[in-house]
Amino acid sequence: AVAAREWALLNPKAYRHGAGPLTVDDVLSSPMLSSPLHTLDCCLVTDGGGAVVVTSLERARDLAVPPVRVLGCGEAGTHGVGLAAMPDLTATGAYESAARAWAQAGVGPADVDLAMLYDSFTITVLLTLEALGFCGRGEAGSFVADGRCRPGGSFPMNTNGGGLSYCHPGQYGIFLLIEAARQLRG
């Protein structure tokens, strides 16, 4: 949440742009919603929309902006009837989808310079970092604790402010793709 807010402060379109910086103490002292999640551990609820145009690399080469190539993708589901049916709350479907995407793309976590991760809750980010292989199980807290994902850190993440501080109209995934394309284009 702290890193997301720092990124949002750099983004004039972010919903929380003018709200000022956050500290860990701010997050932990915000109202408890459902233990252990505080208000500032949870994504925003906003309006918004976005679009991504996907075309062939041959066609994209003629466009005014440089293309961003999709090297791989993966999808997996672990529960279809709700979160309570999830076999293990700490092992998301991202373990399976990441393995598929990494294999298809021919790259791995060590090849990634920035990440756009769904951040419905702060815990979602931590679980996803582990599932994607950026750190081991149980290591995500220390992975982000030193500011690694903040502006100026070695692993830029959710550089628009994410769902925690940019916007979250209910289907946030499109904004991850849009921001990734913006960043990859420089």
Q: State the amino acid at position 107 in one-letter form.
A: V
E strand or H helix at 33: strand 32-34
Of 14, 44, 4, residue with least CA distance to 157: 4
Q: Give catalytic residues, as residue numbers.
A: 118, 166
In 35-149, DSSP assigns E strands to: 37-38
Cα separation, 138 vs 130, whole angstroms? 7
Cα separation, 100 vs 182, whole angstroms? 24
- Give how far the C-alpha of residue 130 lies from the chain's centroid of Cα atoms, to the nearest Å: 13
Handedness of CA 151, 157, 159, 162 (dihedral sign): negative
Q: Who contacts 128 (Cβ-Cβ below 8 Å, separation ≥6)?
A: 92, 94, 117, 118
